[in-house]
Chains A and B, each alone.
Chain A
Amino acid sequence: MTMKKLIFLAFVVFTGTVFSQTYTIANVPQNLIEDANSVMINQQVTVHVNDVNEMEYSYHSVLMVLNKNGKNDLLPMVYYNSETKVKNLEAIVYDEKGEEIEKFKKRDFLDISAVDGESLYTDDRLLLINYTATSYPYTLEFNVTVLTEDTAFLPPFDPIPNYNSSVLSSSYSIDVVPELNLKYKIFDEEGRINSTQNGTKSIFTISNLKSILDENHGPTLSATVPKVLFSLDRFNLKGIQGSTANWQEFGIWMNNRLLNGVSEIPEATKVKIRNLVSGENSPMERAKKVYQYMQDNTRYISVQVGIGGWKPMPAKEVDRLGYGDCKALTNYTKALLSVAEVPSYYTLVNHNSSKVNILSDFTSMQGNHVILAIPDGEDYVWLECTSQKKPFGFLGSNTDDRDVLLITPEGGKIAHTHKYTYDENTLKTQGKVILNVEGDISVNVKIESGGIQYNDRYDVEFQKIEDQEAFYKYYWDYLDNITITSMKFQNDKEQVKFMEDVAFEARSFASFAGDKMIFNLNVLNRSTFIPRRYANRNFPLQLSRGYLDEDEVKLLLPEGYEISYIPEPVAINSPFGEYTASTEILPDGNLMYRRKVIRYEGAFPKERYSEFRSYLKQIAKSDDQKIILLKK
């Protein structure tokens, strides 16, 4: 990580002259237009923290939208609530000639509830306009100033709004009273950010950033872009003051201020729990029973009011209502476990399908979800408390393999959640396929999944029959005219294995050419995805989770045909995984198709992407191999 220093004077001159011309595409350098849906012409963010409970920040943003895909790269919207007031608000739209065509004042903004699809209720509100362009390009200027008592979340310097969006110039200035001790962390591997210090003011600028393109199997946008995060030693959140001096102090604050006084369990439930675990000596066995009890008696409902956005609803309320959000249900489970004399820790995590860590070296408000950790020797058993269905100790792909923060009475501690290795993420397919002279097949298949593949599949059991059928039609979407004839499921929560037993018929599976019948050997598990080709790959290759697939499928051939051609066995070894496929002619004249695919988890330099792609192409080609039968 490097940092370029510029003298402050140069910076002032620089931003002052950057775009004195009108907002027309002719005034934007060609290299910023390439591959871009929008260009951030100029953004200036100013943040003042005057006291622990007084922050004012303003955004002046000018985005040129080049086409429809770029229209959400700057959303003219702002949140507010009882602690946060919007002081100034306006949006101006310029046409392609740079002439003003529409101006929105504060009263023109829609004022709506910020409730998302997940929540029942939140007291946050949103002011926004929904501008529909009549032609492209156009330029949107958005100016907003916000005054808030909450200082727990400082706006980051995050100049690149999206993929395919370039930046002409962006600046960020933050001024904080010294006693709050501003800290920041710069993410900038290529040294694009300039930073300067002027008294208590820190200034960051960046300019002429070409747009970033999304690449298959690449890192996430937020892991790629240059940015700066900020934090204070002390903050105010909904009237409660706290510390982010370091993780230990933050943990103590959260334990004492947010988790204190919410763990009382009504006597009747205590009795139930004690009866439930009586005679069970192993703490893990007791925990299992308590987890099951919690799953049977609650459901996930989110209500976010005031400090309730951060402080769990009391356990006795969850007990009475039978619902809660992630904080409430985790805290409730923790309280129940303590009745059963099993210690556990409330744990902050980033809930995201890509693995995002809580930053161990930078203390700030982080995480968007809460899970529970039960100490198990040196390690932990992790509980997701918002699910009524997940097996005990099973996390799945939104919280696995990442740094999290345990809140213990001694303070916050960084720990790491379970990593699912390739040999845990299994899929075993065993099938029998009967082919008739019409080219139709009837199939019986047993599929057993584990690990992340279990996570991807077990929910099908709980769906309606129609949706279950749709699931299989989608899974085997390369087969047409499928009729599912039976589906049976078995969920072994103890071993975390899910068994599917499915029978179906598919018409027109084989195709005909004269006397020949041609069909694909791999009926039940084809890997056909080939990621895009890139003339210039920019980012490393990331294979974020491994897996292991094993298939054994018996193919019964129709009467009156003989084998005219059968493909050779295929075996491929690569740094990305292993693949074998072979077909054996059984003594009875039928075929046994065997296939095994291993995908390793790993990161590789960008140069190896094309090698990975050709490996997948080889697999796709092998999975597409045909056998030819000849009419006798």
Chain B
Amino acid sequence: MKILQIVIIVFSVWPAIGQKVAFGEVTKAELETTKDVQFPDANAVVLYRSVDSYLGNYIEVHERIKILNENGYESATVFIPYPEIKKVEGATYNLVDGQIVKTELDKDLIFEDELIKDVEFKKFTFPNVSVGSVLEYHYKTEYNNMFKIDLQYDIPIKREKVVVTNRSNVVGVQVIQNPRAFLDLNRIEEAKSTTFLATNVPALELENYVYDMDIYRSFLKVNLTALGDTFRFGNWESLGGVIIGVDEFGQGVKPKNFYKKDVEAIVGSVNDNLKKAEMLYDFVKEKVKWDKRYHYMPLQTTREAYFDEEGNSAEINILYISMLRSLGIKANPVLASTQLNGIPLTASLTAFNCVLVDLELGEKHFLIDVAHPNSSFHYIAPQFVNWQGLRIYPDDSFDWIQLAQSSMSTKSSIASVSLDDDLTFVGSVKERHNGHFAIETNHQLKDLGSNNMEDLISYKGKGLEILEVKASSNNSEETDVSFDFELESGVDDVEGKLYFSPMLFFALDVNPFQKEERNYAIDFGYPLKKQIMLTFTIPEGYVVESLPESSKMVVENLGYFLYRASTVGNTIQVMTVFEVDNSLLPYDKYAEIKEFFKVRMQKETEKVVLAKG
């Protein structure tokens, strides 16, 4: 049994930033600043943020914000997620003719609002805000239910201090930092409280090829590790024990009678266990609808989910495990956490938020999710591919397994193209989509009426017209798509010679990696392979003068790009393969990936020259 090594945070003390900033004591120096040295681009910065979280009792928040230019005015509107707070204090400070002028927050202009039913908050905007203003507010709640404390905003934070205090003898807590974020945090442990200090926290900026930016936000998670002496889940062993101990879970995975007849009717006389597992998968997916809730704990029995035909992710997957076990097929639950729930680094009640299925057939293991519409038998929805999961065996022992896609998703296109008299490309394309490509196409197919079939084709090109789109699903993981096209641009007719790039609209049109540097991992979603075979008929009276050279480029740990062009009879044949074996790459591969895409694009736009023969 492998037990996770908890990352040790080095404690050190920076007394200089530990000092308390007194509410209301805005300085002239703060008002006179016109630019932040560390963040010269910032529209506004939080000069100081303090959160005092006394568990089970109150939360006290104090923030001081500096407006650096007009685009920073957005930061002058504040949301407070505690609608019942009675007292919010605050004021705007401006420098007028060298004097500090204070404008108090108007109590009548603090609104209570409800975004949707039961999601209420307080909201206000500071008065008299202009470039240079310093804004400050403070509030204290009468209870504490804050289990996640943000340390990073969409504007920089200059200094912040978070104190989490737990004076209870009953509740055990542990405070951890989002392991995906890379904020230098100074942690000071005292008897009943923990203090966190940070300076110059940069804004969280948007990047492409990221599952969701929020997975990289710096925050503190307050994890519940014990309730009294009986319930302790401070390590994986005891957490696993607590979860299995819950009847809906521990009993749920065992074979049941209520579905026996249905299951027998489905699998009939089939002998192959893999086949049986696939048939059951389709049956459960069709019958029990996912209620869009992620959970690692069933909130109702599998029986209730089965007959209500609706359940959360734990209920549906546990039901599937129970059915597999009833047929003598080995299957075990895997406690997992979606990308947005974060990496389960330490044991606590919020470490996991879903259950997956580990199906074991002889030597082979399949990682399966039945609940999510973006999952199918061989492919799980990308949000579940998140580090490791805790697999629980029938004897209540457990181990960690790597969460990964069982199969690669592929898309292969075969195109035949010719050039008509007015230099318009005409052609037809046949495609086969597998895995996640098929899942995405099938979702679209369901939503598009026969009038909108062109929308199924996402290729873009100047003067590209898509015609006669047809699509048919062979099964949930394989879909065939075909279409015809006309492309009105792309050929240069110069001095009797034709110049064009044979990849047409299949070529990538913009390099997605244009930024100079990158701080976050690059996420392609899932392992994938795109293959294009293009046959171009040479127009009568022309011969090939030059073809792009064939080449292959490999990036270690990522995949490869292959380009091959040749003349066969009166045709030019071009084949390209783009394969990503490893879909999540660390940020330090960025320069290599950027270059890889650049070369790929260059190759894809390289030209064929035809001369009159």
Q: Which one of B41, B117, B488 lies within 8 Å of A111 (CB-CB)?
A: B117
B499–A626 touching, CB < 8 Å? yes
Query: CB within 8 Å of B: which of A450-482?
Result: 462-466, 473, 477, 480-482
User: A121, B113: Cβ atoms under 8 Å?
Assistant: yes
Find out whether the CB atom of A473 lies under 8 angstroms from the CB atom of B69: no
Dominant SS among interface residues on chain B: mixed
* A121-B123, A514-B546 given; A322·B128 CB < 8 A: yes
A164 within 8 A of B: yes
- Inter-chain contact A297/B499, CB cutoff 8 Å: no
Do residues B514 and A481 form an inter-chain contact, with CB atoms below 8 A?
A: yes
B117 A67 Cβ-Cβ under 8 A: no
Beta-carbon contact of B516 and A112 below 8 Å: no
Is there contact, CB below 8 Å, between B117 and A164? no
Q: Provided the pairs A67-B449, A67-B451 are in contact, do residues A120 and B125 lie with their beta carbons within 8 angstroms?
A: yes
B462 engages A528 (CB within 8 Å): yes
Q: Contact between A296 and B77 (Cβ–Cβ < 8 Å)? A: no
- Considering the chains assembled together, what is the distance between the CA atoms of A617 and B76 in angstroms? 48
| Chain A, residue nearest B42 (CB) | A464
Whether the Cβ atoms of B41 and A513 lie closer than 8 Å is no
Q: How many angstroms from the CA of A303 to the CA of B106 in the assembled complex?
A: 14
Task: Indicate if B81 sits at the interface (CB-CB under 8 A).
Answer: no
Q: Which residues in B have their C-beta under 8 angstroms from that of A100?
A: none
Contact across chains for B125 and A507 when beta carbons are under 8 A apart: no
The residues in A between 79 and 133 inclusive whose CB is less than 8 angstroms from any CB of B are: 110-113, 115, 120-121
Residue of A nearest to B602 (CB): A508
Q: Is the CB of B115 within 8 A of A465?
A: no
| Chain B residues whose C-beta falls within 8 Å of the C-beta of A508 in the assembled complex | 598, 601-602
Q: Mark B423-441, 1 if CB is under 8 A from A, else 0.
A: 0000000000000000000
Evaluate contact between B607 and A533: CB separation under 8 angstroms.
Answer: no
Q: Given the complex, which residues of A lie within 8 Å of B449, measured CB to CB?
A: 37, 66-67, 69-70, 136-137
Q: Is the CB of A36 within 8 A of B451?
A: yes
| A388: Cβ under 8 A from any B Cβ | yes
0/1 interface trace, chain B 480-523, chain A, CB 8 Å (1 if under): 00000000110010110001010000000011001010000000
Contacts of A620 in B (CB 8 A): 462-463, 489
Task: Tell me the bound Cα distance from A507 to B605 in angstroms.
Answer: 13
**Residues from 495 to 544 in A contacting B, C-beta threshold 8 Å:** 507-508, 511-514, 516, 518, 528, 530, 533
| CB contact between A67 and one of B106, B447, B462, B545 (< 8 Å): that residue | B447
Least distance between B572 CB and chain A CB atoms (Å): 14
Contact A565 B489 (CB under 8 A): no
Q: Is the CB of A530 within 8 A of B514?
A: no
> Do the beta carbons of B462 and A466 come within 8 Å of each other?
no
Q: How many A-B residue pairs have CB under 8 A?
A: 140
**When the two chains form their complex, are residues B109 and A303 in contact, meaning their CB atoms are under 8 A apart?**
yes
B129 neighbours in A (Cβ, 8 Å): 299, 322-323
Flag if B605 contacts A511 (CB, 8 Å). yes
Residues of chain A lying within 8 A (CB to CB) of residue B495: 564-565, 628
B114 is an interface residue with CB less than 8 A from chain A: yes
* Contact indicator B448/A67 (Cβ below 8 Å): yes
Q: Are B499 and A112 in contact (CB under 8 A)?
A: no
Q: Does B551 contact A (CB under 8 A)?
A: no
User: Which residues does chain B contribute within 8 Å of A303, judged by CB atoms?
Assistant: 109, 111
Residues of chain B with a CB closer than 8 A to A625's CB? 492
The smallest beta-carbon distance between B8 and chain A, in angstroms, is 35
With A120-B123, A463-B71, A528-B462 in contact, do A480 and B601 touch (Cβ < 8 Å)? yes
Residue-by-residue, is B100-121 near A (CB-CB < 8 Å gives 1, otherwise 0)?
A: 0001001001010111110000
In the complex, are the beta carbons of A66 and B111 less than 8 A apart?
Answer: no
Task: Check B127 against A164 for contact (C-beta < 8 Å).
Answer: no
Question: Quick check: A322 and B127 within 8 Å, CB to CB?
Answer: yes
Return the contact of B488 from the options A37, A465, A512, A617 (Cβ within 8 A): A617
Asked if B117 contacts A513 (CB within 8 A), the reply is no
Question: Are A513's CB and B607's CB within 8 A?
Answer: yes
The answer to whether the Cβ of B279 comes within 8 Å of any Cβ in the partner chain is no
Evaluate contact between B462 and A120: CB separation under 8 angstroms.
Answer: no
Contacting pair A482 B130 (CB below 8 A): no
Is the CB–CB distance between B516 and A483 below 8 Å? yes
Residues of A within 8 A of B130 (CB): 296-297, 299, 322
The interface residues of chain B lying within 8 Å CB-to-CB of A120 are 77, 111, 123-125
Q: How far is the CA of A607 from the CA of B124 in the complex (A)?
A: 55
Please give the distance in Å from B289's CB to the nearest CB on chain A: 8
Q: Answer yes or no: A608 CB below 8 A from chain B CBs.
A: no
- Name B286-309 residues within 8 Å CB distance of A: none
Q: Contact check, B41 vs A389: say whether CB atoms are below 8 A apart.
A: no
The distance in angstroms between the C-alpha atoms of A115 and B77, with both chains bound, is 14
- Whether a CB of chain B sits under 8 angstroms from the CB of A320 is yes
CB-defined contacts of B76 to chain A, threshold 8 Å: 299
A323 touching B127 in the complex, CB below 8 Å, given contacts A34-B451, A37-B449, A620-B489: yes
**In the complex, A35 has a CB within 8 A of chain B:** yes
- Does A482 lie within 8 Å of B448, measured CB to CB? no
B113, B465, B606 interface centre (most CB from chain A within 10 Å) = B113
**B 528-555 to A, binary, CB cutoff 8 A, 1 in contact else 0:** 0000000000000000011000000000
Q: B70 touching A115 by the CB < 8 A rule?
A: no
CB of A299 within 8 A of CB of B73, answer yes
Residues of B within 8 A of A480 (CB): 510-511, 598, 601
Docked-complex contact A514 and B609, CB < 8 angstroms: yes
- Residues A423-463 near B (CB distance < 8 A): 462-463
Q: Taking CB as reference atom, which chain B residue is nearest A465?
A: B41
Residues B267-298 near A (CB distance < 8 A)? none
Q: How long is the Cα–Cα vector from A120 to B601 in the complex, in angstroms?
A: 46
- Let me know if A565 and B494 touch, CB within 8 A: yes
Alpha-carbon distance between A36 and B495 when the two chains are bound, in angstroms: 48
Q: Which residues of B contact A473 (CB under 8 A)?
A: 514
Query: Which chain A residues lie closer than 8 Å to B511 at the CB level?
Result: 480-481
Which of A113, A164, A513 contacts B451 (CB under 8 A)? A164
**B43 proximal to A (CB < 8 A):** yes
Contacts A507-B598, A530-B462 given; indicate if A466 touches B127 (C-beta within 8 A): no
Is the CB of B2 closer than 8 A to any CB of chain A? no
Q: A530 near B117 (CB under 8 angstroms)?
A: no
Which residues on A sit within 8 Å (CB–CB) of B115? 112-113
CB under 8 Å from chain B, chain A span 286-301: 296-297, 299, 301
Is residue B452 within 8 Å, beta carbon to beta carbon, of the partner chain?
Answer: yes
User: 23 interchain pairs (CB within 8 A)?
Assistant: A36-B451, A67-B448, A68-B447, A69-B447, A112-B117, A137-B449, A297-B130, A299-B73, A321-B106, A322-B127, A323-B125, A388-B70, A463-B71, A464-B43, A507-B598, A508-B601, A508-B602, A511-B501, A518-B499, A530-B488, A620-B463, A620-B489, A624-B492
Interface residues of A (CB under 8 A from B): 34-37, 66-70, 110-113, 115, 120-121, 135-137, 164, 296-297, 299, 301, 303, 320-323, 388-389, 462-466, 473, 477, 480-483, 507-508, 511-514, 516, 518, 528, 530, 533, 564-565, 617, 620-621, 624-626, 628
Given A322-B92, A528-B462, A624-B492, list of 12 further CB < 8 A pairs? A68-B447, A113-B115, A120-B111, A136-B449, A164-B451, A299-B76, A466-B205, A512-B606, A530-B462, A617-B463, A617-B488, A620-B462
Q: Which 5 A-B pairs have the closest CB atoms?
A: A67-B449, A68-B447, A322-B128, A321-B127, A121-B111
